[in-house]
Amino acid sequence: MFNHNLFLEDRNYVTHSKSYTIAIYQYTPTFAEENKAIINMKSKMVLIGLAMVATTVFSCKRDYTCSCSKIYTASTGTITYNDGSYVLKDNEVRASDQCNKQERTGSDLDGDYSKQYEIK
């Protein structure tokens, strides 16, 4: 456990009729212990770096286009119209959720329709 190569000092103590010599050594870690500590430190740094990169990639806000299609259904078939698009500035998951929440069905003067939204 102790590296006896690093000898610091001798201390002499005298008590009543006995004298003691105490050698004081300083503990220095072995090469394997130092390597293990360095490897642990490096692996922690790599994990922290990966976590930072993942946070940046998955939470970055970009412009996503939500395009809408209005689809009429009739006995003769379906007719699809482009019903516009708009830009969402958010991360991909939230933008997709916001876009998909607007899908609905209904009817107007032209007949029954369904609105379908797609994120691009």
Q: Are residues 66 and 107 in the same domain?
A: yes
- Parent domain of 47: 7-58
Q: How many CA atoms lie within 13 A of 28 on its CB side?
A: 8
β-sheet bridge partners, residue 22: 11
In a domain, 1, yes or no: no
Work out the mean pLDDT of the chain and round it to a whole number: 77
Give me the mean pLDDT over the 76-100 stretch. 85
Q: How many CA atoms lie within 13 A of 18 on its CB side?
A: 2
Q: Are residues 31 and 74 in the same domain?
A: no
Q: Are residues 70 and 113 in the same domain?
A: yes
- Please state the domain count of the chain: 2
pLDDT at 20: 60
Q: With a cut of 60, say whether residue 66 has pLDDT above it.
A: yes
pLDDT at 6: 47
Sign of the CA dihedral with 77 first, then 82, 87, and 92 last: positive
Last residue of a domain, one of 43, 58, 73: 58
pLDDT confidence bin for 2, thresholds 50/70/90: very low
In a domain, 2, yes or no: no
**Cα gap 55→94, rounded to integer Å:** 15
In a domain, 97, yes or no: yes
